[in-house]
C-alpha cells in the first residue's frame, strides 16, 4: 500500500494539471470531511480506489491523521495499548462524518478531538 501511495504522489507531482484539481484535505474541515469520506468508501469497497483523485484523498487523509497523531500523542490523548493505524483513521473519519456542525473548525482540531475522545489521558494525580 505504501509503495502505491509513493508512486501516486510521484505521478501527481509530475502532473501539474492534475495537482491543480486535487482537494487539499487540510485546508478546512469540510475538505477533510470529503477526504475522510473517500477513505471510508475505499474501506467499504475492499480498498478499491475509483480514481486518481480518490487515491490522492485517501493517502492525504491517512498522512494527515498520522501527522497529527505523532505530534499530539501523550499531550492530547493516551494509548493504553498498541493501536492499528486503520483504527485511528476509522475513529477520525467517523467523528468527522457524525459532526458536520464542526466542519468550520481547523482540521487539526477535528482529528485531535476524535482521537482524544476515544483515548483520553488520565490526568488524575495519584
List the domains of the chain with CATH numbers: 2-118 (1.10.890)
Q: What is the pLDDT of residues 74-85, one digit of tens each?
A: 788 999 889 999
Distance (Å, whole) CA 25 – CA 65: 11
User: How far apart, in whole angstroms, are the C-alpha atoms of residue 61 and residue 38?
Assistant: 9
**Is the Cβ–Cβ distance between 58 and 49 less than 8 Å?**
yes
Where is average pLDDT lowest: 57-66, 77-86, 107-116, 117-126?
117-126
Count Cβ atoms below 10 Å from residue 25 Cβ, excluding itself.
26
pLDDT digits over 5-32, tens only?
544 454 545 444 455 567 788 889 999 9
Query: What are the tens digits of pLDDT across the range 44-94?
Result: 888 877 788 888 999 999 999 999 999 888 788 999 889 999 999 999 999
Grid cell 493504553 in the structure block, residue: 80
Which pLDDT belongs to residue 93? 98
CA–CA distance, 12 with 19 (Å, rounded to integer) = 6
Amino acid at each position: 500500500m505504501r509503495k502505491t501511495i509513493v508512486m501516486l504522489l510521484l505521478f501527481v507531482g509530475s502532473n501539474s494539471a492534475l495537482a491543480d484539481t486535487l482537494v487539499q484535505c487540510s485546508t478546512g474541515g469540510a475538505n477533510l470531511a470529503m477526504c475522510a469520506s473517500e477513505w471510508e468508501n475505499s474501506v467499504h469497497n475492499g480498498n478499491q480506489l475509483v480514481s486518481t483523485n480518490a487515491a490522492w484523498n485517501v493517502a492525504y487523509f491517512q498522512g494527515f491523521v498520522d501527522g497529527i497523531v505523532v505530534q499530539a500523542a501523550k499531550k492530547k490523548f493516551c494509548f493504553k495499548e498498541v493501536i492499528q493505524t486503520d483504527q485511528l483513521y476509522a475513529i477520525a473519519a467517523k467523528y468527522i462524518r457524525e459532526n458536520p456542525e464542526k466542519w468550520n473548525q481547523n482540521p487539526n482540531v477535528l482529528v485531535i478531538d476524535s482521537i482524544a475522545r476515544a483515548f483520553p489521558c488520565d490526568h488524575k494525580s495519584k
